[in-house]
Structure 1
Amino acid sequence: MIIRDVTNYIEELAPLSYAEDFDNVGLLVGSYTTKVTGVLVTLDTLEETVEEAIAKNCNLIVSFHPIIFSGLKKINGSNYVERTVLKAIKNDIAIYATHTALDNSKNGVSAKMCDVLELTNTQILIPKKGVIKKLTTYVPTSNANALRNQLFEVGGGNIGNYSNCSFNIEGKGSFKGNENSNPTIGKKGELIFEKETCITITFEDYLEKKILNTLFKHHPYEEVAYEIITLDNSNQNIGMGMLGELYKEMEEKEFLKFIKNTFKTGCVRHSKFINKPIKKVAVLGGAGSFAISHAIRAKADAYISADFKYHEFFKAENSILLADIGHYESEQFTKNLLVEYLTKKITNFAIVLSEKSTNPIYYL
């Protein structure tokens, strides 16, 4: 198995197109064609992480956070990023990062937080826009069913809880091939009118290459007429944060103690008590202050995330309990999620959970 095989599995869970524009995801160090000896899964990649990979005979590190985030103009070991990259290169260790691609996955970071909290009736807090595309093509009616089914087979026409979704209009198409053409129907130089079906399907943007390959392979015409556009619609199965319900209502202080113990954090910074029970909870791993207004609009009783600044606690405005549990603490179970997922997909070599805590914050 080569690195590309492993990353293909990861990208089934967290396609790179899910990542935010500012992010740096994918294979950051190494070659996709390298044969894999073992995979070490971690939250962060540091020098000690590379050393752990070497000790455990793992030549691929799958990291949540990218060690290279902004551009490197030189690599001479002057800081922890450069030293980590140098050590990885010297020891033929590849580094792959998922970050916001996994944040936006329905079964990603926030979903794992929901699992740990045993939340039910979960849904995406901020559905992502710009990740749904629409294909429109025209095919002889006699070939329409076969082509449509092939597009369904590779993921076209999946919408939320529904599959095999399409819109079809029958009409009449015309064409005339020149002297260099090789028409499937009729003869070159002859004006042809053919009964055709216009097929329209939607698909997730990461499937575009597969959709087009299928279209060209199974469409009978020499020249395939089609168009693809990106829709503004939100995808309810992709996005940041999640919303769910506790198995039982809790008083605010009880709830804060519950999440403190659950996430094993040194402290929970929270907003003013609003004297109402907590049942509906929003979560978002990592720095999540940008989603406070979304949690309020979703009528959550509490919002769990991290890295809230002083003035951002005022945004609670007596309508929600904000709980900052720490950046590392909110994402700590992500590596367990990746190990569980990859272990099910790959059985011929070790998927190793890093034993190192990379939390840079300590509590007295």
Structure 2
Amino acid sequence: MIVQDVIDHLHDLAPLAYAEDFDNVGLLVGDKKQTVSGVLVTLDTLEAVVDEAIKSNCNLIVSFHPIIFKGLKKLTGKTYVERVVIKAIQNNIAIFSIHTALDNALNGVNSIICDQLGLKKKSILIPQSGTIKKLQTYVPKENADNLREALFNSGAGTIGNYESCSFNLEGKGTYLGNENSNPVVGEKGKLQTEEETLISVTFKKHLESQILNTLFKAHPYEEVAYEITTLENTNQHIGIGMIGELENAMDEKDCLEYIKNKMNTEAIRHSKFLNKPIKKIAVLGGSGSFAINAAKSAGAELFVTADLKYHDFFTAENNILLADIGHYESEQFTKTFLVDYLSKKITNFAIILSKTNTNPVKYL
């Protein structure tokens, strides 16, 4: 197995196409064709983590956070980022980051938090737009069934809980090939009228190359007529944050104590209590102040996130209880999830959970 094979498994879980624009995900260090001896999974790639990988004979580190976030102009070892990159390169260790691709995945970071808290009726808090595309193509009527089936098998035509979704319209198509053409149906230099079927299917944007390859392979024409458009429809299965419900409503203080225990955090910073029972909870792992209004609009009584600043707490405006449980604490179960996921996909070598605690925040 090579590095790219592991990346493909991670891409199935959380396609990099849905990472945030500001992010730096993917293979950050190393050769995607390198044979893998072992995989070490971590939340952050620090020098101690690289040392751990060397000791464990792991030449691929799967890290949630990217070690390279901003551009590097020098590699002198002056900063911890430079030292990590240098040590990884010197020891032929590849580093892959999944970060906001997993944040936006249906079964990603925020689903993990919901499961940890026992929340039911989970749904995406802020669905992504522009992630659904539509293909329209025209094919001879007699070839329509075969082409449609091929597109379905490549992932087109899936809408929510439904598969093999398409719209079909029959009509007549015309074309006239020039002297360099080689028409499958008709003759060059003669106007051809053909009974055709218009096939329209939607697909997720990360599948575009795959869908087009299938289209060109399965379509009988020399020149394939097709259109691809990006839809503004929001994708209910891709997006940041989640909202769910406790089985039974809880008192505010009891709920925060419950979260403190379940999320293994030493302290919770929160806005003032509103003397309202808590049942509907919004969550967003990592820095989530930008989603406060979305949590309020979704009707959440409590928003669990991290990295809230002083003025962020004012935006609660007596409408919601805000709880900052800590950045590391909100994402700490992610690496265990990734180890379990990869271990089920890959059985011929070790998938190791890093023992290095990379939390930079300490409590007195």
Q: Normalising TM by the smaller chain, what interval?
A: over 0.9
Deviation at 1:169, TM superposition (A): 1.0
Deviation at 1:229, TM superposition (A): 1.2
Distance in 2 (CA, whole Å) between partners of 1:307 and 1:187 is 68
Deviation at 1:337, TM superposition (A): 1.1
**Helix, strand or coil: the match of 2:61?**
strand
What amino acid is aligned across from residue 187 of structure 2 in structure 1? K
Distance in 1 (CA, whole Å) between partners of 2:256 and 2:7 is 38
Deviation at 1:232, TM superposition (A): 1.1
**Helix, strand or coil: the match of 1:186?**
coil
What is the aligned partner in structure 2 of residue 84 from structure 1? 84
What is the aligned partner in structure 1 of residue 115 from structure 2? 115
Distance in 2 (CA, whole Å) between partners of 1:200 and 1:336 is 41
Residue 300 (structure 2) pairs with residue 300 (structure 1): yes
5+ residue gaps in structure 2?
none
Distance in 1 (CA, whole Å) between partners of 2:284 and 2:169 is 43
Counting only pairs closer than 5 Å after superposition, residues 187-226 of structure 1 correspond to structure 2 as 187-226=187-226
Counting only pairs closer than 5 Å after superposition, residues 1-364 of structure 1 correspond to structure 2 as 1-364=1-364
Which consecutive aligned stretches of 4+ in structure 1 deviate over 2 angstroms post-superposition?
none
| Alignment deviations for residues 310-348 of structure 1 (CA, whole Å, 9 cap, x no partner) | 011111111111100000000000101111110111000
Distance in 2 (CA, whole Å) between partners of 1:340 and 1:167 is 39
| Alignment deviations for residues 181-226 of structure 1 (CA, whole Å, 9 cap, x no partner) | 1111111111110011111111111000000000000000000001
**Helix, strand or coil: the match of 1:183?**
coil
| Alignment deviations for residues 85-126 of structure 1 (CA, whole Å, 9 cap, x no partner) | 001000110000000001000010001001111111100000
What amino acid is aligned across from residue 321 of structure 1 in structure 2? L
What amino acid is aligned across from residue 78 of structure 1 in structure 2? K
**Helix, strand or coil: the match of 1:259?**
helix
Distance in 1 (CA, whole Å) between partners of 2:189 and 2:11 is 47
| Alignment deviations for residues 42-90 of structure 1 (CA, whole Å, 9 cap, x no partner) | 0000000000000101000000000000000011000000000001000
What amino acid is aligned across from residue 161 of structure 1 in structure 2? N
Deviation at 1:163, TM superposition (A): 1.1
Deviation at 1:227, TM superposition (A): 1.1
Distance in 2 (CA, whole Å) between partners of 1:104 and 1:74 is 32
| Alignment deviations for residues 161-181 of structure 1 (CA, whole Å, 9 cap, x no partner) | 111111111110001111111
Q: Identity percentage over the alignment? A: 65
What amino acid is aligned across from residue 282 of structure 2 in structure 1? A
Distance in 1 (CA, whole Å) between partners of 2:349 and 2:247 is 38
**Helix, strand or coil: the match of 1:28?**
strand
What amino acid is aligned across from residue 97 of structure 2 in structure 1? A
**Helix, strand or coil: the match of 2:199?**
strand
Distance in 1 (CA, whole Å) between partners of 2:218 and 2:339 is 38
Distance in 2 (CA, whole Å) between partners of 1:57 and 1:100 is 28
Deviation at 1:295, TM superposition (A): 0.4
**Helix, strand or coil: the match of 2:282?**
strand
**Helix, strand or coil: the match of 1:110?**
helix
Deviation at 1:254, TM superposition (A): 0.2
Distance in 1 (CA, whole Å) between partners of 2:128 and 2:186 is 46
Distance in 2 (CA, whole Å) between partners of 1:171 and 1:164 is 22
Deviation at 1:260, TM superposition (A): 0.7
Distance in 1 (CA, whole Å) between partners of 2:334 and 2:241 is 14
What amino acid is aligned across from residue 324 of structure 1 in structure 2? D
TM-score under structure 2 normalisation? 0.99
| Alignment deviations for residues 248-299 of structure 1 (CA, whole Å, 9 cap, x no partner) | 2100000000011111112000011111100001001000000000000000
Distance in 2 (CA, whole Å) between partners of 1:152 and 1:108 is 25
Q: Please, which moves more after superposition, 65-74 or 159-168? A: 159-168
**Helix, strand or coil: the match of 2:40?**
strand
Distance in 2 (CA, whole Å) between partners of 1:247 and 1:85 is 46
| Alignment deviations for residues 217-251 of structure 1 (CA, whole Å, 9 cap, x no partner) | 00000000011111111100000000101122100
Distance in 2 (CA, whole Å) between partners of 1:72 and 1:339 is 29
Distance in 2 (CA, whole Å) between partners of 1:135 and 1:154 is 13
Distance in 1 (CA, whole Å) between partners of 2:179 and 2:209 is 31
